[in-house]
Amino acid sequence: MGKLVLIDGNAILHRAFHAMPPLTTKSGEPINAVYGLVSMFLRAIQDLVPDSIAVAFDEKEPTFRHKEFGKYQSQRPPTADELSSQFEKARDFFKAVYVPIYSMPGFEADDVIGTIADHVVEGKGRGLKEVIIITGDRDILQLVDDKKNIKLYMPVAGLTNAKLYGEKEAKERMGVPADKIPDYKALVGDPSDNYPGVAGIGPVTAEKLLEKYDSIDHIYAHLTDIEPNIRQKLVAKKDDAKLFHRLATIVRDVPLEVNYKDMENWKIDNPDVIKLFQEFGFKTLTERIQKVGKEIEGRKQTTLF
């Protein structure tokens, strides 16, 4: 079964930046987030044994979500200079290991990942049958689908421990089935993205409503069956609930040109990455990536016989 690993570059780099102590290159440039990202990348490919790999990043331009809702993520402080300077270095790493990078102005990395995952499910991925998404962003749990073989690999403590999420684990984490996460967030809001949801509807009420009516659309189609107190709150914020649902839903039809053959050509132990690690001052990671590279080549040779 062909396995594609999709990496949420922004989410992992942010997590690594906050998990790792300060670290600089020989020239004094911050490099701790890249160090953490590489460490997790190596751990993940050992755990997951992918056939193909790709990474997605956000673009700097505002997304359609910012245009539809001016307050979207407006509470977030500007990215620290110590982190923003590392995004290009992270891209340099993925280029050095021949992992293709995808992004699209107007969309988030989540949307790019959702689109590529759906392409694979639809049979467009050169025989790929399984998708595992590496991320630290629980919003992407909405993509988990056991029947489609889409799972999440998410850190649970710093960068050292990670958990594989299927539908069962996603529901345990969020309280609702994976595909109902956008509906849930439309009702209760999402402080991290700065939209409030329906005033007066908390997690318990939202879970009960979705368990009975399945979706935002069905909830509003059955307002007369809902107790008056809750119905009034829903009616008062109907337009907002529909808007927040759009904001929370990962887009799966971003107009991307995807080359699945490129995703097969990753190679972590090669002269390009060794040279880059010398520039970064990654002595320990150089030894580690060479060791993991030999393990991977050994596995490939074994599968040939």
**Does residue 51 contact residue 1 with C-beta atoms inside 8 Å?**
no
pLDDT digits (tens, 9 = 90+) for 242-280: 999 999 999 999 999 999 999 999 999 899 999 999 999
Query: Is 70 inside any structural domain?
Result: yes
pLDDT of residue 107: 97
Query: Do 167 and 273 belong to one domain?
Result: yes
- Angstrom CA distances, 31 to 17, 280, 289, 290, stand at 9, 7, 17, 20
pLDDT of residue 305: 46
Could you give the number of structural domains in the chain? 2
In degrees, rounded to 5, the angle at the alpha carbon of residue 151 between the alpha carbons of residues 147 and 156 is 150
Query: Do 281 and 157 belong to one domain?
Result: yes
160 pLDDT more than 80: no
**Does residue 135 contact residue 115 with C-beta atoms inside 8 Å?**
no
Element (H, E) at 132: strand 128-134
pTM for the predicted model, two decimal places: 0.94
Q: Please give the Cα distance from 102 to 4 (Å, whole number).
A: 14
- The CATH number covering residue 269 comes to 3.40.50.1010
When pLDDT is averaged across residues 137-156 and rounded to a whole number, the result is: 94
Query: Do 215 and 282 belong to one domain?
Result: no
Instruction: Return the half-sphere exposure (C-beta side, CA atoms, 13 A cut-off) of residue 98.
Output: 14
pLDDT digits (tens, 9 = 90+) for 105-135: 999 999 999 999 999 988 887 888 999 999 9
pLDDT of residue 297: 77
- The CATH number covering residue 242 comes to 1.10.150.20
**Does residue 173 contact residue 141 with C-beta atoms inside 8 Å?**
yes
The domain in which residue 272 lies consists of 2-174+250-292
* Confidence grade of residue 1 (pLDDT, cut at 50, 70, 90): low
Query: Do 159 and 273 belong to one domain?
Result: yes
Query: Is 297 inside any structural domain?
Result: no
